[in-house]
Structure 1
Amino acid sequence: MKFLHTSDWHIGKTLKGRNRLEEQAGVLREITRIALDNDVDAVLIAGDVYENPAPTPEAQKLVVRTLLRLAEQHIEVVLIAGNHDNGATFEAYKPLTDVAGIHIYGHARPAANGGVHRFRAKSSDEYVNVAVLPFLSQRYAVRAAEIIANTPSQNIGAYDQLVRDVLDNLTKPFTPDAVNIVMAHLTCTGGVFGGGERAAQSIMEYHVPAAVFPVEAHYVALGHLHRRQHIPAACPVHYSGSPYAVDFGEQNNTHVVCLVQASPGTPAKITDIPITSGRRLRTVEGTVAQLIAGRVDYGEDYLRLVVTQPAYAGIRDDLLEPLPNTLEIRIHPDHAGTGSTAGIAVDRPARTPAQLFSDYCHSIGVCDDRVLALFDQLHDDLTRSIARP
């Protein structure tokens, strides 16, 4: 049987105020065309379908129409919630989407209660088991382990052990006469960040080793890290990555969907199919004159300009008029202390909220790991989008 693995669409994502919905529509049309051209049995979407837990009606319309078009071609559509999605909303619409042939999972559940999606491939009549694991925040990993794996509260340990306990339950129904797949939205140890992930839900406390995935799995379809990559493990573990550059940190990534062919007794064969519809993001460095002189090379790329000269009044207008696709202007650190930088960012490395809070605590003489842990918990509660089960 054949299926597509994709993830991290982030539909509704804007960049520096620029609406990208038309661009995102082109990406989804290309993914749909690839699915149809390759006559796949299924499309697996491993989370972060939307950029926000409350997507706009336009973003929802685009996603729904894409999923319906796939389902209308008798393609099995299986989708899980990521940390940017609203799992509770996914669950609310599940009875309706199931009727349409679109199978969405907002919360983790036991294998015996829908935690494994089963179907027969239309092309080969092979049985397929897909163990589905939507994103788990640290707090709700505890709840999931208690409910799904019957892990006693007093035995609850690190996040990776909780995920292992849940996966042990979800993969028990795997059988040798079926194609067995795990689909999850998480950070795998050794994975390389793509550049646009939410830092608070990608830190070491959220890492799980690839050893949590069973050797019986023909393929592990992961979402969350935006870079296309293979994680060494006893079974094939792959991130498809985002199909377009979500942020400037991803400007050098390769954007693909993974076409996977698998049979019960045969190792999975993975083919990367490039996605070309998304607009390129590009960081360009130089003086104002050099940046303007290079405009013939930029095409329709979205630009982040790093200016290597002192800022002056009117510098934004001088750059934006000839370079209308500029989304951000930064002053190189060597020139940050000279001239006026009003309204222009200084090109300094980004710092996470946890790092900024730690620096603040240090500046006022507070050195207590419990305070930092409470901040991490509060930030996790505020940024997570999986509602309470």
Structure 2
Amino acid sequence: MRFLHTSDWHLGRSFHREDLLQAQAAFADHLVETVRAERVDCVLVSGDVYDRALPAVDAVRLCDQTLARLVGLGARVVLIAGNHDSMHRLGFGSSLMDAAGVHLRTDFARVGEPVVLDGTAIYGVPYLEPELLRHDWELDERSHTAALTEAMCRVRADAAGRARSVVLSHAFVTGGEAAPETSDSERDISVGGSSNVPVSVFDGIDYVALGHLHGRQALTDRVRYSGSPLAYSFSEERHRKGSWLVDLHDGGMEAAFVEAPVPRRLARLRGRLEDLLSDPRHEGVEDRWLQVTLTDARRPSAAMERLRRRFPHTLVLGFEPEEGPGEDTRTWTERVKGRSELEVAGDFVAEVTDGPADGTERDLLHRAFEHCRIKEARA
């Protein structure tokens, strides 16, 4: 059997207000072409198909078209719900779609019912919220480990007499050969109890296709995260995005990573504004989406506009001034003591711009304070 393991599509998501639907459509094209070129038997989608429980119409349309194209190539699709998905909305029509070769597994009650392809049993274990399961499954504790351990007991009860087994799961799994790498775009799932699940929960399974973490990683040779197909935070600047192409046979398992297209690379810059605008070393990132942190002692005026003249795709601007030898360490109470309203307001203007208030600005501030005093006097 040849599988293509992918996850965390997050269809409908934007990147700092940049619409990603076209980039997600380009990934869908890449996915379909990979399935065709590599003669993939089954596509495994390990959750977070959509970015929110009630997805946008365009996101639903893209998902529908992608699944239809995959089935049109003769591939089967097994897809589970992630913590961003609504298991009820995503699972609508699952019984009918089974007949078409798209197997939606969003109901925790069905974790022990596999999709069987050429002797390989594929078990879809959707995101398990412990609080919703502990009564039905009589869990001893409120944790993701308890929930997934019970799910795997049900999987093993069915898999015992089968030749090969594959599990899809959406969870935060730890252990194995390397500590899992997280990113800023992943939603915290610890609210539903302790989130960490040991990799040993999946012992004995021939391949485990994980979703939730957005960086590709192999916890063991047989337990892997594919990661998201696109970067969804600047913390993923150095990620390689794509899917795992997995061959599962009687002699063992082989996996190769298939890289996905990158719509626009990311970079993070830090420094004083004038240095960033003039330094030739930054020529290589002028066409990238940027997160910029300015370290000027005072906040430069029109910083974003000036940055975008050189770096037109700057999306995020932060300000972390470097401490200078003459920095004022007094508290705000000490700084404003005995000073007039106009002087304090003038200090604010100087703090958030590149210099003190000019005559026009001081006149505007003066008139504003006068207006306030008159209004209070008339109250």
- Counterpart of 1:81, as a letter, is A
1:1-389 matched pairs, under 5 angstroms: 1-111=1-111, 115-120=112-117, 126-143=118-135, 146=137, 151=138, 155-156=140-141, 158-175=143-160, 178-190=163-175, 191-201=180-190, 205-215=194-204, 217-232=205-220, 236-263=222-249, 265-293=250-278, 296-309=283-296, 310-334=298-322, 340-341=351-352
Contact 2:130 2:192 in 1 (8 A): no
Deviation at 1:289, TM superposition (A): 2.8
Q: 1:26 to 1:219 in 2, by over 3 A?
A: same
TM-score by length of 1: 0.76
Contact 1:131 1:171 in 2 (8 A): no
C-alpha distance in 2, partners of 1:138/1:341? Answer: 47
Deviation at 1:9, TM superposition (A): 1.0
C-alpha distance in 2, partners of 1:165/1:311? Answer: 55
Contact 2:264 2:288 in 1 (8 A): yes
C-alpha distance in 2, partners of 1:202/1:324? Answer: 39
For structure 1, list consecutive stretches of 5 or more residues without a partner in the other structure. Answer: 121-125, 343-389
Q: 1:70 to 1:141 in 2, by over 3 A?
A: same
SS in 2 for 1:319: helix
C-alpha distance in 2, partners of 1:22/1:205? Answer: 36
What per-residue deviation string (whole Å, max 9, x for no partner) do you get for residues 264-301 of structure 1? Answer: x3221111111133422211123223333456422532
C-alpha distance in 2, partners of 1:202/1:116? Answer: 28
Comparing 159-168 with 180-189, greater Cα deviation is found at: 159-168
- Ranked by relative contact order (alpha carbons within 8 Å, sequence separation 6 or more), the top structure is 1
Comparing 41-50 with 30-39, greater Cα deviation is found at: 30-39
- Counterpart of 1:281, as a letter, is L
C-alpha distance in 2, partners of 1:220/1:90? Answer: 22
C-alpha distance in 2, partners of 1:143/1:24? Answer: 39
Q: 1:9 to 1:157 in 2, by over 3 A?
A: closer
Contact 1:138 1:206 in 2 (8 A): no
For structure 2, list consecutive stretches of 5 or more residues without a partner in the other structure. Answer: 328-347, 354-379
C-alpha distance in 1, partners of 2:273/2:3? Answer: 48
C-alpha distance in 2, partners of 1:18/1:66? Answer: 22
Deviation at 1:341, TM superposition (A): 4.6
Contact 2:183 2:233 in 1 (8 A): no
SS in 2 for 1:334: coil
Deviation at 1:53, TM superposition (A): 1.0
C-alpha distance in 2, partners of 1:3/1:35? Answer: 9
C-alpha distance in 1, partners of 2:84/2:142? Answer: 25
SS in 1 for 2:3: strand
Comparing 45-54 with 195-204, greater Cα deviation is found at: 195-204
Q: 1:267 to 1:333 in 2, by over 3 A?
A: farther
What per-residue deviation string (whole Å, max 9, x for no partner) do you get for residues 178-201 of structure 1? Answer: 331011000112422133211244
C-alpha distance in 2, partners of 1:317/1:299? Answer: 14
Contact 2:129 2:192 in 1 (8 A): no
SS in 1 for 2:91: helix
Equivalences, count: 323
Deviation at 1:36, TM superposition (A): 1.3
Contact 1:105 1:134 in 2 (8 A): yes
Contact 1:27 1:278 in 2 (8 A): no
Deviation at 1:340, TM superposition (A): 4.3
Contact 2:8 2:48 in 1 (8 A): yes
Q: 1:316 to 1:300 in 2, by over 3 A?
A: closer
Deviation at 1:81, TM superposition (A): 0.6
Deviation at 1:251, TM superposition (A): 1.1
Q: 1:202 to 1:218 in 2, by over 3 A?
A: farther
Q: 1:133 to 1:84 in 2, by over 3 A?
A: same
Q: 1:300 to 1:313 in 2, by over 3 A?
A: closer
Deviation at 1:109, TM superposition (A): 1.8
Q: 1:341 to 1:227 in 2, by over 3 A?
A: farther
